[in-house]
Amino acid sequence: MSDFAKLIIGEREFELPIHQGTEGHRAIDISKLLAQTGHITLDDGYGNTGATESQITYVDGENGVLRYRGYAIEDLAQRCDFTETAYLLIYGELPTAEQLEEFRASIRTHTLLHEGMKQIFAGFPPDAHPMAILSSVVGALAIYSGDTIDARDPEQQQLAIYRMMAKMPTIAAFSYKQSIGQPFIYPENRLTYCQNFLQMMFAVPSERYEMDPDFVDALNLLLILHADHGQNCSTSAVRMVGSSTVNLFSSISAGICALWGALHGGANEACINMLDMIRADGGNLGKYIDRAKDPNDEFRLMGFGHRVYKNYDPRATIIKEVCHKLLAKQKKPDPIFQLAQELEEVALNDSYFVDRRLYPNVDFYSGIIYRAMGIPENMFTVLFALGRLPGWIAHWREMHLAPTMRIHRPRQLYTGSPKREFVPLIKR
């Protein structure tokens, strides 16, 4: 804490402490404002509200910078694997070889689901969205992992983290298998995290599954890129729910629900649907650019714009490069990738998008890779959830470790009716 901001309300003057972040950003501490001044702050959508101090992820939206625990996303994407990145996010340091092997082994031990959980999947209708299944079944882990639901007990916390990391790919793949009526493929612990997930998704008991190593690499990279992003909607949901001291599984289930929305993780599915729609409509980009700009039309360019990035999302840059590499293997150019690049070009030269500083975000190109890997559209956001899991866990753990932890309970400015007399039913 270095200096103070002065706030003048009427005749009175108040001093508010200023906190400084490691990268020079400054925050006015208003935690005592109500007690000192009788006022609260108002910030719909929290665009200007720091909900916590955090040491996990640094996002510089002006310059398109993203770092996990101080390491550039570009370095991690090139040199790490997903479990290594997960360790870094959750525990704060890159693991030694020994620590990494121990982490991987601890996760491997827990990949199976309780057999009783298969009945939960069986109860869902065939057209159930896999995100709804994922959030329900992750929530149900609190029942099947009853010995790890004390969120304040460090040992239970640790075991819950291993279980959550281990079971999420199994639940995600089972959600898909359930939705297409195929038998569940059990985890194979000799495989890596990403190989295991692809095997559970695509193998069938009747045939040998040949895994494309490029798909494994692409999945590993996409999961790393999605692994954390500060106080986004789903992470805030995890923290909010977790702040009541409920268990990890229930907190993560809340995060999955928040992620599903089209303005957040659901944008990857919405984006590919949008690109398909534009193509089916003759590829008339101008028509859709005009619709996106029309304030009376609800249509938005999905995969474009970001609350924090006012520059190119560094994750989108990396994903676009991978699209080029992966799709080069295909015999014919991918028309949707071509269309996406044209759309980007048109938008980035249009004053509406330039003035509002709207650039492609992580969801603009990711669906094109998922589709090339054979992953169906309704699983795209599930893949996002799989990637974001270590970030959610890291924030949940960081919150529990903080000496300042208290239940999250925002205020409101009441603007409803003043006190009025009750009117009996027969007189209404």
Active site residues: 306, 363
Contact with ligand CMC (CB under 6 A) among 356, 374, 401, 410 = 356
Contact with ligand CMC (CB under 6 A) among 269, 344, 363, 398 = 363
Q: For residue 157, state whether it binds ligand CMC (rule: CB under 6 A).
A: no
Least separation in angstroms between residue 202's CB and ligand CMC is: 26
Considering only CA atoms, which of 220, 262, 238 is closest in space to residue 381?
262
Considering only CA atoms, which of 249, 237, 242, 243 is closest in space to residue 149?
249
Q: Which two tokens stand for residue 156?
A: 């239970």
Q: For residue 85, state whether it binds ligand CMC (rule: CB under 6 A).
A: no
Considering only CA atoms, which of 390, 59, 369, 392 is closest in space to residue 222?
369
What is the x/- site pattern for ligand CMC, positions 300-339, by CB under 6 A? xxxxxxxx--------------------------------
Q: For residue 265, state whether it binds ligand CMC (rule: CB under 6 A).
A: yes
Angle, CA 86 vertex, CA 108 and CA 214 arms, to 5°: 80
Closest to ligand CMC by CB, 84 vs 228, is: 228
> Cα separation of 69 and 94, whole Å?
9
Considering only CA atoms, which of 207, 147, 137 is closest in space to residue 178?
137
Which of these ranges, 354-362, 372-380, 409-417, 419-427, lies near ligand CMC under the rule CB under 6 A?
Answer: 354-362
Which 3 state secondary structure label does DSSP give 130?
helix
Q: For residue 69, state whether it binds ligand CMC (rule: CB under 6 A).
A: no
> Which single residue brings its beta carbon nearest to ligand CMC?
305
Closest to ligand CMC by CB, 48 vs 96, is: 48
Contact with ligand CMC (CB under 6 A) among 9, 40, 105, 263 = 263
Q: For residue 360, state whether it binds ligand CMC (rule: CB under 6 A).
A: no
Q: For residue 32, state whether it binds ligand CMC (rule: CB under 6 A).
A: no
Contact with ligand CMC (CB under 6 A) among 358, 368, 379, 399 = 358
Give the interface size with ligand CMC as a residue count (CB under 6 A).
19
Q: How far is CA 207 from CA 68, 77, 176, 184, 372, in A?
A: 40, 33, 18, 14, 21
Which 3 state secondary structure label does DSSP give 223?
helix
Find how far residue 100's CA is from the centre of its chain: 24
Q: For residue 219, state whether it binds ligand CMC (rule: CB under 6 A).
A: no
Least separation in angstroms between residue 364's CB and ligand CMC is: 7
CB 199 within 8 A of CB 185: yes
CB 398 within 8 A of CB 55: yes
Q: Which two tokens stand for residue 125?
A: 């209708």
Closest to ligand CMC by CB, 114 vs 300, is: 300
Closest to ligand CMC by CB, 198 vs 224, is: 224
CB 396 within 8 A of CB 239: yes
| Contact positions vs ligand CMC (CB under 6 A) | 232, 263-265, 267, 292, 300-307, 356, 358, 361-363
